[in-house]
């Protein structure tokens, strides 16, 4: 099994970042790598239960991923399972994601995404690229929020 971690300091307060990572209207802005649209999704990480999203690439091809929100601890963490679906809709191997937040000493919020139980180092590298791209969008949201609150 393989794993990955993406750490950032985001330019927004803890409560705002927690809203960004849990509430559907905010998840739609940063969920999925840059260039991806979400034509079908149920993304609400404010409570435990099922979630799914279909990510559409610019070329029109689609990838479906789903899981269960396993815990929500406001304002410090959210966890969920993660499994890609094959072309027939069957779920593949399940992995686990935990996003942890804490107030940063110099202001802003320390963000840490830990994705574990991935099937291989190749899968971890691919997910790392996807998460890193998604988190870039989250960083832009946080910076925009910080600018608007000044």
Count Cα atoms within 13 angstroms, Cβ side, for 29.
17
pLDDT score for 3: 97
Sorted by where each starts, the structural domains of the chain and their CATH numbers stand as 2-149 (3.30.530.20)
Per-residue pLDDT tens over the stretch 76-104: 999 999 999 999 999 999 999 999 999 99
Per-residue pLDDT tens over the stretch 102-138: 999 989 999 999 999 999 999 999 999 999 999 999 9
C-alpha dihedral sign at 131, 136, 142, 148: negative
Q: Which residues pair with 101 in a beta bridge?
A: 111
Could you give the C-alpha distances from 105 to 14, 30, 72, 109, 110, in angstroms and in order?
Answer: 12, 25, 23, 9, 9
pLDDT score for 149: 64
pTM (two decimals): 0.94
Nearest to 51, CA basis, from 86, 21, 77, 88: 21
């Amino acid at each position: 099994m393989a794993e990955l971690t993406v750490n950032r300091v985001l330019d927004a307060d803890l409560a705002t970042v927690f809203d960004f990572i849990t509430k559907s209207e905010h998840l739609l802005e940063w969920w999925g790598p840059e260039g991806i649209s979400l034509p079908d999704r149920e993304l609400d990480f404010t409570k435990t239960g099922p979630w799914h999203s279909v990510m559409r690439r610019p070329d029109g091809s689609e990838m479906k991923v789903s899981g269960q929100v396993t815990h929500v601890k406001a304002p410090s963490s959210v966890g969920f399972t993660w499994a890609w679906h094959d072309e027939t809709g069957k779920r593949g191997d399940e992995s686990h994601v935990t996003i942890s937040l804490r107030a940063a000493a110099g202001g802003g919020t320390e963000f840490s995404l830990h994705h574990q139980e991935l099937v291989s180092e190749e899968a971890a590298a691919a997910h790392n690229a996807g998460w890193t791209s998604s988190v870039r969008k989250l960083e832009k949201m946080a910076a925009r929020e910080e600018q608007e609150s000044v």
